[in-house]
Structure 1
Amino acid sequence: MAKPYVQLCLLMLSIIGVAGCSSNATTEEEVYEWKMSVTVGPGSTWYEGAIKFAKDLKEQSNGRFLVDVYTNEQLSAGNPEAGVEQLMDGLKDFSYNSSIIYAGIDPRFGVLSAPFLINDFDDAERVLQGQSGEIINEMLRERGVEPLGFGESGFRQITNDTRAITSPEDLDHLKIRVPSMGVFTNLYRTQEADPITMAFSEVYTALQQGTIDGQENPVDVTYSAGLIEVQQYMTMWNYVYDALVFGMNKELFDSLPPEDQALIKKVASEANAYQINRTREKEQAQLTELEEKGMNIYYPTDDEIGQFRESSQQVYDDFRDVWGAKNLETFLREANGSEEDAQ
């Protein structure tokens, strides 16, 4: 019979052997559940892009990354600015928000909404993919947001039910609903118009009752809100480009290993490209339908756009210091595709 100390040694060897086997066993990978919000509803291309991101990220992470998408700023009681602040504070994980909303929190972002700065999609691509885009990215990181690229809401066009807008003089005394942002109220006041800020949810009724004469928004917003029923004229002047910021909470992003960060960036880039393409496809179909339903859509000539641009210069003087003179020079140079400041 083995002595007690021999039995103890055999028992210890047995335990060590079992432990060694268990150390080779694979453990289940951690699953992350995240929240993403978009400002508009499920019929929007914003939602389409967000859903593509969530679906592709789940598939390409083998189910480790799960993203729930919330429409109409449900996570912030319908308030887009509060939604961006939630993203900055880590109370949610991802969002699609217009750069205009960021400018309501930090006016430096308003440089992207400078009137007639970006006039077509080529301008937008040069700006957002160049040094100007990096300026915006660094500003986002300063505010606790990791940039995952840009989507697109489109160019903001003006509508009203009074007259066709073909020159700055046509804006005289028109009551126009604008976002609650200094650039917009400043611009319309310099045009002798009467800018009025209100929640977009109130705009249809205000137009119907004649409280306001018009509003400005990308075509998709005008179309999807049914404003054809209360607006007769639209001017396609491309006066402000509305970029979408695809943002992720920076602290969350920084906590992930490099390979996961790279995957999220890749999937977000693909979702942005898809969302932009869908937005441009839908706009053409929407314009055709609006015209068929009787909306008068006016396309200004280059000379007429030049008049609008000239009459908006006061905005640049008033906001140069707010945006940062050096930043503005970079935006102007890249938007114009030249080395010289065209202003």
Structure 2
Amino acid sequence: MKKALSLLLVFMLLVSLMVGCSKPAEPTGDTAGGTEEKGNDFPTMTLRMSTTTAETSPWTKGAQKFAELVSERTDGKVTINVFPNEQLSNGNQPGGIEQLQNGVTDLSYHSTIIYSVLDPKYSVISMPWILPNNDEVDAALNGAPGEAIKQLTREKGIEPLAFGENGFRQVTNSKKAISSPQDMGGMKIRIPAMQMYTDLYKALGADPTVMNFAEVFTALQQGAIDGQENPLAIIVSSNLYEVQDYISLWNYSYDALILGMNKAKFDSLSPALQEVILEAAKEASAYQVQLNREEEAKNLQLLKDKGMTVTEFTDAEIEVFREKVAPVYEKYEDIIGKDLMDMFR
């Protein structure tokens, strides 16, 4: 009996050891508790990104850099197709932002000037001479003022990934050199759809005309308008020197870009993919800003070579323009809010 019991115990021990050896190994590392999104484990998706300007502009080159970085860091799983010249909105810049809000497009580079259609608070960045140079621009957008604009953007259903740059805006025309406010009297100047610009140009005695950017070249060519205002990079990449004779370098208004993503889309992504997109956006936007600034001198020389007459200003001459637009500050302090305005001053 004892011998039989001993044999039974040995048999049970052998069975136990065999079962133990055949048990599957516990998952470890990337496979534990589910699949981590690393490398080839990112989901395959295609996103659409809109820009307003031509393929050759720093604006669109920055978007293309962003697309390249995201593709590289997801092993080609996430593709971003870039559509320049506001193709997706048929040239309608405010419509492009609405598409981003509604999820018709996933990403965009849009100017804060166009964002002011959603909320006039965005006008603060472009108030006349509020940000007079690149050092003050960088300090503002990388600090508390920039964070205030980002929070405002999230409230509109858009996740602000990074700030880009369209740059300081200059005015061009086909009539005469502008060296004082009196020279602008009655001049029909195309402006983007921002009420602050309408008020500003009226204060300077001009006749401001809101028009989609896609229509500007033809309108200048046909004489429907006398002039327009834009940063040098846009003037060059859009060949506006072909239909304009004079440019005044007055750096009157800074134009920031927001690399934005539909917030619902962004929030639906895993934290790992969100991090990839955020880091790529920051790097691409830093590249875009650097490219824009490096091309300033080259663009100005090109305009001179194309025969444009360039007018530059002393601080005293700029002060005359600033005095003329003082009522604009008084009006927009109430609209934008004194606290936000003071953050940028």
- TM (norm. structure 2) is 0.86
Q: Which amino acid aligns with 1:93?
A: D
Q: Give aligned pairs, total.
A: 318
Q: Separation in 1 of the partners of 2:286 and 2:207?
A: 37
Cα pair distance change 1:213/1:76, threshold 3 Å: closer
Instruction: Determine which of 226, 231, 243 is the counterpart of 2:256.
Output: 243
Instruction: Determine which of 61, 71, 91 is the counterpart of 1:78.
Output: 91
Q: Separation in 1 of the partners of 2:104 and 2:78?
A: 17
Cα pair distance change 1:234/1:66, threshold 3 Å: same
* Higher alpha-carbon deviation: 275-284 or 147-156: 275-284
> Are 1:264 and 2:264 counterparts?
no
Instruction: Determine which of 300, 304, 310 is the counterpart of 1:291.
Output: 304
Q: What is the DSSP-based 3-state SS (H/G/I as helix, E as strand, rest coil) of the residue aligned with 2:116?
A: helix
Q: Separation in 1 of the partners of 2:243 and 2:104?
A: 39
Q: Which amino acid aligns with 1:267?
A: A
Q: Separation in 2 of the partners of 1:63 and 1:236?
A: 43
**Aligned-residue offset at 1:282:** 2.2
Q: Which amino acid aligns with 2:101?
A: M
Q: Separation in 2 of the partners of 1:183 and 1:275?
A: 26
Confirm or deny: 8 A CA contact 2:51 2:59 kept in the other structure.
yes
> Are 1:199 and 2:212 counterparts?
yes
Q: Who wins on radius of gyration, i.e. which is larger?
A: 2
Query: Cα RMSD (Å) of the superposition?
Result: 2.3
Q: Separation in 1 of the partners of 2:214 and 2:81?
A: 25
* Higher alpha-carbon deviation: 254-263 or 138-147: 254-263
**Aligned-residue offset at 1:62:** 2.3
Percent identity over paired residues:
45
**What does 1:65-144 correspond to in 2, within 5 Å?**
65-144=78-157
Q: What is the DSSP-based 3-state SS (H/G/I as helix, E as strand, rest coil) of the residue aligned with 1:105?
A: coil
Confirm or deny: 8 A CA contact 2:54 2:84 kept in the other structure.
yes
Structure 2 unmatched ranges of 5 or more: 1-17
* Higher alpha-carbon deviation: 30-39 or 254-263: 254-263
Q: Which amino acid aligns with 1:84?
A: I
Q: Separation in 2 of the partners of 1:211 and 1:89?
A: 34
**Aligned-residue offset at 1:21:** 7.9
* Residue 230 of structure 2: aligned partner: 217
- TM (norm. structure 1) is 0.86
**What does 1:326-337 correspond to in 2, within 5 Å?**
326-332=339-345
Q: Separation in 1 of the partners of 2:86 and 2:223?
A: 28
**Aligned-residue offset at 1:305:** 1.2
Q: Separation in 2 of the partners of 1:175 and 1:296?
A: 19
Confirm or deny: 8 A CA contact 2:88 2:96 kept in the other structure.
yes
* Residue 276 of structure 1: aligned partner: 289
Structure 1 unmatched ranges of 5 or more: 1-12, 333-343
> Are 1:304 and 2:333 counterparts?
no
> Are 1:170 and 2:172 counterparts?
no
* Residue 338 of structure 2: aligned partner: 325
